[in-house]
Each structure stands twice: as C-alpha cells, then as structure tokens.
Amino acid sequence: MLRRTLLASAAATAMLGGLAHADGHAPVKVGFVYVGPIGDGGWTYEHDKGRLAVEAEFGDAVETVFVESVPEGPDAERVMTQMALEGADLIFTTSFGYMDPTINVAANFPDVAFEHATGYKQADNVSVYSARFYEGRAVQGHIAGQITESNVIGYIASFPIPEVIRGINSAYIHAKEVNPDVEFKIIWAYTWFDPAKEAEAANVLIEQGADVILQHTDSTAPQAAAAAANDAGATVYTFGQASDMGEFAPMPRVSSIIDDWAPYYIARTQAVMDGTWESTSTWDGIGAGMVGIGEISDAIPAEVKASAEDMVARLASGEYHAFTGPINKQDGSVWLAEGETASDYGDDGLAGLNFYVEGLTAEVPQ
Amino acid sequence: MIALEKRPQPSAFWSYAAPLVAVILTMIFGAALFAALGKPPLEALSKIFWEPLFGEFSFFYLPQLLVKGAPLVAIALGLSLGFKAGIWNIGAEGQYIIGAICGAAVALAMYPSEARWLVFPAMLIAGAFGGFAWAMIPGILRVKFGTNEILVSLMLVYVAEQLLASMALGAMKNPEGMGFPGSRNMSQMDAATSWISQSNGMHWGVVIALIAVIFAYILFARHILGFQIKLAGQAPRAAAFSGVNPARLILFCLGTSGALAGIAGLTEVSGPAGIVSIDFNVGYGFTAIIVAFLGRLHPVGILLAGGLMALTYIGGDIAQSSLGLPGAAIQVFQGFLLFALLAVDVLTNYRVRLVQRGAA
C-alpha cells in the first residue's frame, strides 16, 4: 500500500509537471527503454533514430531520455518507474519482453502514456505498436529463392515468438514459390543482440552450404561473417535487418528491411502534446512506411530486382497479402484456402502465429 | 626502480583497506571517463552513488537496492565458501537457473492451489535442491574422476540456459499466453509469490540472504568446518594431515553454494521476475564472483559489496537516463572496480620498495 500512495503522490507531481507544460513552460518528456545498445546497427539503432527524429521535430518543446541494454524483467520495471518518477509524459518500451513490466508500471502511473512495441497487452494508458515485418520477409524470400545456387537458405532466428515465426514462414513461402527445391536451415540464437553468437551462427550456416543468410537478430555480425567468407572466395548473400546495414552493400548485403519508427514516434508525441493521446493498437507495414525495403543492390540480376520491386509495390498498395492461400500448415492440414488471406487475430491469426507452414522441415522449438 | 617484495604475512591493514582504495580509485577513474565523454563528472558520480540512497525518489530506489542486491549476496556467500577452500564454482548462474526451474515447476504443478503453507515451502525445498543437484554434477565428477570443476560448472551454465529456454517454450508455457513463450506469473499467485512486501522490496530471497550472512559468519568464526575450509585453502597439506576429508569438503562447498544459488533463483522467479522466460537470468551468478572477492570472501564484506554492486546498477541506470551517459560507460565503470581491486590487492601480499638500479 505504501508504494501505491508514494507513487500516486509522485505521479501527481509528474502531472503537475504536465500542467506546467500546458502553460508553455516545461517540455514534454519522452522516455525510451532499449533492449540493446544504441550502436547495435539494427533494432535499437533504428528506435534511437526515431527518438532523434522526435527531438529534431519538436526542438525545445520536447526532452527525450533513454536507457540502453535493459534486461527484460525486473530491471525493465525499475527503469520504467524511474523514468515515470522523473517526470516522463510518454514512455516507449521497445522490446517484446517488456510487455508485463510495461503493464505493471503503467498501472502505477495512470497519467503517463506508455507505448509497448510488438506485444499484445493493452491498457487505458498502454498502446501497442508493431510493424508488419513479414511483408519485408516476403520480398527477401522472393529474392533469396532466385539467387541461391546451393538451394540452401540459412536463417538466424532469435526467439520462437510469433513475430519471428511469421518472418520464417513468409520468407519460406515466397522462396519456395520461385524455387521449389529450396531448403531452409534455421539456427535459434536465443538472443536479440550478441555479435559473437550471431557470427558463429552465420559461419555454421555457411559451412552447411547456405549461400543466402537471413537474420532476425540485430547486429551486423552475420554481415561481417558473410563478407569474410566472400573474401575467401565464397558467394554468400545477406539482407540487412531492422536497419539498412548499407555499409555491407552491394555485397554481401543485397537488400534490407528497415524499421522506420520516426513518423509514429512523432505522431504519438504530438498527440501527448495536444492532449489527444489514447490507447491504440497499431500494426503498419510497407504501405504506411513503417517497414522500408532497403535499396536492392546490383549484385543480383536485373530481372530479379525488377520482380522484387514489383512485389514491394503490390504489398504497399494492399493488392497482395504476404499470406495468401492456398497455404498448408506443416502437418499438412489446411491453414488458408485458395485465395484466402490470413487474418490478424483469432485462431491461427498472424498475431499469435506459432506453427510452421508445409515444407519447412525443422520444428518450432518447444 | 620499483620492486615488489613478498610480505612474510599478508598485510592485515591492506586486506581491509584494499576494497576502500579500489572504490576510491574507481571513482577517480570514473570521473575522468565521464569528463572525457563530455558529461559533468561529479554530477554523474552523485547520480550513481547519492541519488538512489538520498535523492528525491529514494523511497523507490532503496527497496530496489534490496531486490537487486539479495541474489548477489546469497550467491556470493555460497561461492565464498568454496573460494576460501580453493574450490572454484564458476557456474552459479546455472545453479541459479535450475533452482528457479525446479521451484517454478512445483508452483506451476500445484496451481491453482491456494495452500501457501504447503506450496511455498515446497518451492523453497525444490529450488534449493535443484541448485544443489546441479552443483553436485561438477562436485561428484571432481571427487570421482578428478575433473576440473571450473570447466564443468561453467559449461553446465549453457546447458541450464538451453533447459530454461525449453521450459519457457514448452513444458512451462502459459496455456493462456496466446502461444507466446513464458510461464504463468507466479508473483501474482498468493500461494507461490516470494514477495513479502513489494513496496518495501522485501521478498523471501532478501530474508534468506540476510540469514545466510549470519550463518556464514558463525560458520567461519565458531565452527570447525569453517576452520577446515580456511585451512584447506591456505595449507592443503596441513589440512590433509589434520584429518580434513577433501572429498567431503568439495561436496559441501559446491553443494552449499549450489543450494544458495538455487534459492536465489527460485525467490527471483517467483517474485521480482515473476515468470520463467527465455532470458530470465541476467548474470547474477557471474557478477556474484566479483561481489565475493570485493567482499574479501567475508560474510559482512559480501553484504556490503553486494549493496555496492546493486547501487552501481541502479545508479548507473539513473545516470543513463538523466545525463545521457552511454550504457557501455557504466559497464566499464563497474568492470574497473574489479580491476582496481585486483591491482590494489597486490599490496596485501607484496610490499612496494624503491630499489637502486644495479644495487641488487
């Protein structure tokens, strides 16, 4: 009980800060909790670019703070509480594992707005937002299936959560579509950011014959590993993840998925300033600009590039859905009938996707 | 020329002064580092060391200090037993994980039972036993086959991490979690939570860590076993002659440290962490090694060192968000603490002499 009253009075102080702002005195304070270091070159780097965009947009009217490399658990809860106590009006918690901590802390600070990335638990003062990365994965699979010589595509996965499984399925479906002989080798790194582990995974995949490496981890280590293999005479292609990773273009990095959070972060900060912020669930893709496809380099054949760009355009316009039937589940049962597209929620919906599609030989780790 | 001369006896003065000098050196180094990064050095140090204890929001940070420090102290105490006797358990992180898994298994198996008198004690026993059993693997291998307990215990950390991932994704996955990994939240189960008072940071892990400090103190001050441990570390041959059974000592030290690490894991998973998740462990088992040495392997010293380490974590996060200090700078700062301690420690066993060149 003690904590509740103390926190309530602190929240009241924070609210006074908010009122002061309405008079034009104090800037709106926006906090960011990061799971990796801002220099990871991938996921956290892009979130931090979003933070900098907020600063650039609002100048003195906004103050941003961040804490990097926060473990997902009690530490995250402490860091969020700390930000709220120090007067943050809006807090972005940018990793799936921050879900329960965000909900817990938000309950103590009803006047602070929270935004949790990639989760599914909402509250009156907790919004959720994510990007349809699987649209980008479709493009990667489409390219990978055509450029592979060995027909073995390596995939460095992080954690077996729906977001990652969606990506694997989407890449596989579109690789298979253009190359029926394609085979996926998947390594689970159980980390979002660990350059040593990621490099090791990339090397193992290359040794096992993979000549295209897709990654769902955040560092550039797999890119560097592929570049080193190419220097030694191999031909290995990679795709940038979360960030463009353009320093590895044109080879091995032939394209990338870019998370562009800046417009969303600016809009949400604006909403807090205007007093119009409310709890929402946002899931945007290529069309809305939240998912960007990094420039497709000339290291791949022109016709492959052209058909990939055509797919990007069709995904962006909504003309094509990345999960369009007929698609069977791994066990052979029907997931999507001919022409049917996957729904976001509900049974077998994309939000909670936890099974592979037919053709993938590995098993989802249990 | 500067020469080091071995002291006939370790200096009593320096063995107490070394940690203090190390902390002061770390502060000076930290101030220089922060200044080089263009941040106000004194303000940064006060954010790290002063703000959590006496700042405006210390009502929130002080309880957090207990939460963060308790597992460090409990694990470091267990490790200190072995370290004194020259038995090197480097795998406390693994024992911590297995303790958490075993304790959580009991809680989840008995859910939704409300019999706290039954559930929580059973969890404690399971947690302690899990850590104990995991530490017995390197223990028995060492006693029976002479394997190196450093390597075996360390390697078992990675095995434990795989087991943890498998539990979070499979057997212990929350059936109401929409397919996402992670167990049910035990901190919200009245029968299973380790919280005593969340607002005050009090959970059973804190209580047990404090009790363990007292027991360890008595063990070393009064009990023959404590004497044997010290003897085995300082003079193994003398220990053998005086009838110390080395196999029993190894099993006792490893088993106790494993059980303490297991309890720390169990009380963490059923309280502050709440759920069995893939990345439940955040490195307490390794940081505790620093805490054990910073505390001079002495129970009271470990208590203080655990508090200090927890302070740098909490204060470090405050400095990050309020001054924009990079997280890596905080890690360098923490790392320098051990580095400085080891450097100053030379003075405990050696005397610094100015020697004229060629005179020797």
Would you list the domain boundaries of chain A? 2-131, 133-258+293-336
- Among B59, B180, B313, select the one facing A6 at the smallest CB separation: B59
pLDDT digits (tens, 9 = 90+) for B115-151: 899 999 999 999 999 999 999 999 999 999 999 999 9
- What confidence category does residue B360 fall into, taking pLDDT thresholds of 50, 70 and 90? very low
Write down the pTM of the prediction: 0.86
A273 touches chain B (CB under 8 A): no
Query: Residues of chain B whose C-beta is under 8 A from some C-beta in A?
Result: 57, 59-61, 63-64, 67-68, 161, 165-166, 169-170, 178-181, 185, 197-200, 268, 272-275, 277-280, 282, 313-314, 317-318, 320-322, 324, 326-328
pLDDT digits (tens, 9 = 90+) for A41-63: 889 999 999 999 999 999 999 99
Distance between A150 CA and the closest CA of chain B, angstroms: 31
pLDDT at A192: 85
Domains (ranges, CATH) in chain B? 40-324 (1.10.3470)
Whether B320 sits inside 8 A of A68 (CB atoms) is yes
**Best-predicted range by mean pLDDT (A20-24, A117-121, A151-155):** A151-155
User: Residue A14 above 80 pLDDT?
Assistant: no
- The Cα–Cα gap between A11 and B30 comes to 33
Q: Do domains A2-131 and A133-258+293-336 have the same CATH topology?
A: yes
pLDDT digits (tens, 9 = 90+) for B225-277: 888 888 888 888 888 888 888 899 999 999 999 999 999 999 999 999 999 98
Tell me phi and psi for residue A214, to 5 degrees: -105, 145
Q: Which CATH architecture has domain A2-131?
A: 3-Layer(aba) Sandwich (3.40)
Q: pLDDT: is B347 or A342 the higher one?
A: A342
Contacts of B63 in chain A (CB under 8 A): 3
Query: Is this complex's ipTM strictly greater than 0.90?
Result: no
Q: Residue A42 is which amino acid?
A: G
Whether B60 sits inside 8 A of A81 (CB atoms) is yes
SS3 call for A191? coil
Whether B169 sits inside 8 A of A81 (CB atoms) is no
User: Residue B201 above 50 pLDDT?
Assistant: yes
Residue ranges of A 50-79 with Cβ closer than 8 A to chain B: 65-75, 77-79
- What confidence category does residue A3 fall into, taking pLDDT thresholds of 50, 70 and 90? very low
SS3 call for A306? helix
- Topology at the third CATH level for domain A133-258+293-336: Rossmann fold (3.40.50)
SS3 call for B350? strand
Read out DSSP for B157-221?
Answer: HHHHHHHHHHHHHTTT--TTSTT-S----GGG-TTT--EEEGGGTEEHHHHHHHHHHHHHHHHHH
User: Residue B1 above 80 pLDDT?
Assistant: no
- The Cα–Cα gap between B232 and B239 comes to 5
- Among B59, B278, B326, select the one facing A190 at the smallest CB separation: B278
Whether B320 sits inside 8 A of A67 (CB atoms) is yes
pLDDT digits (tens, 9 = 90+) for A132-182: 999 999 999 999 999 999 999 999 998 888 889 999 999 999 999 999 999
Structure tokens at A99: 């879900």
Q: Are B95 and B134 in contact (CB under 8 A)?
A: yes
Sign of CA dihedral B50, B53, B56, B62: positive
Mean pLDDT over residues A198-215, rounded?
A: 96
pLDDT at A115: 97
Residues 6+ apart with CB under 8 A from B253: B81, B82, B85, B87, B89, B229
A3 touches chain B (CB under 8 A): yes
Residues 6+ apart with CB under 8 A from A217: A42, A156, A157, A158, A189, A191, A192, A193, A194, A198, A241
Q: Which residue has the tokens 């494993």?
A: B258
Among B140, B121, B136, B130, which Cα is nearest to B167's? B130
A362 touches chain B (CB under 8 A): no
**Rg from Cα positions in chain B:** 22
> Could you tell me how many CB contacts below 8 A there are between chain A and chain B?
110
pLDDT digits (tens, 9 = 90+) for A250-296: 889 999 999 999 999 999 999 999 999 999 999 999 999 999 999 99
User: Residue B67 above 60 pLDDT?
Assistant: yes
Tell me phi and psi for residue B69, to 5 degrees: -85, -30
Mean pLDDT of chain B, nearest integer: 91
Please report which residue ranges of A59-184 form alpha helices under DSSP H. 74-85, 99-108, 133-147, 162-178
